[in-house]
Structure 1
Amino acid sequence: MKRHPNKHIQMAIEYAVSKGSTLVEAGQSSHAFCRLRCGDPNREHQNHQMSVWSTPSSPENHAKQIKRKVDSCI
């Protein structure tokens, strides 16, 4: 797994993976760094996934959004 250049977002990604989310790498033409999917196999991934942006305007807020999304899937 490649590391996100922002430490707050990288820690949020590691948190998500530790809670069972799966990381899907983004394509080369995408502005997203990766996509996180809920680890629960009984859920539809369409509503339980989130893009992690490469350069969000507020990395700290984006990291908080990632954690909130992961916690809502638990």
Structure 2
Amino acid sequence: MRRKRHPKKDVEAVLVELELLGWTVQVRHGTGHAWGLLRCPNNDRDCRCGEFCQMSISSTPQNPANHAAKLKSKALSCIYLLAEKEKDDGKI
């Protein structure tokens, strides 16, 4: 089943991009300002002690483009994605 779309197009575009990388979006209903949660596919103890393994997605961000950029930046800083990229680039 397809999830509900985020009302801000910048945020929705980033969510779709991150879902293609394995991140999951859990839409929350009636929980204040949080529209949902973005969860890392590699949620384990080795991954920064869980610091970036889950991020809150705002339902009404003051600046949707900035909120989307922050979500993307944090997600793409995942130690597993960085290690995979280095491996692909031949650095490992």
* Contact 1:9/1:60, CA 8 A, preserved across alignment: yes
Counterpart selection for 2:76 from 52, 67, 71: 71
Give the greater-gyration-radius structure (CA): 2
Q: Higher relative contact order at CA 8 Å, sep ≥6: structure 1 or structure 2?
A: 1
Question: Unpaired runs of 5+ in structure 2?
Answer: 82-92
Matches of residues 1-74 of structure 1 in structure 2 within 5 Å?
1-43=3-45, 46-47=50-51, 48-73=53-78, 74=81
TM-score (norm: length of structure 2): 0.71
Question: Unpaired runs of 5+ in structure 1?
Answer: none
Higher helix share: 2
Percent identity of the aligned residues? 36
CA RMSD of aligned residues (A): 1.7
Is the partner of 1:39 in helix, strand or coil? coil
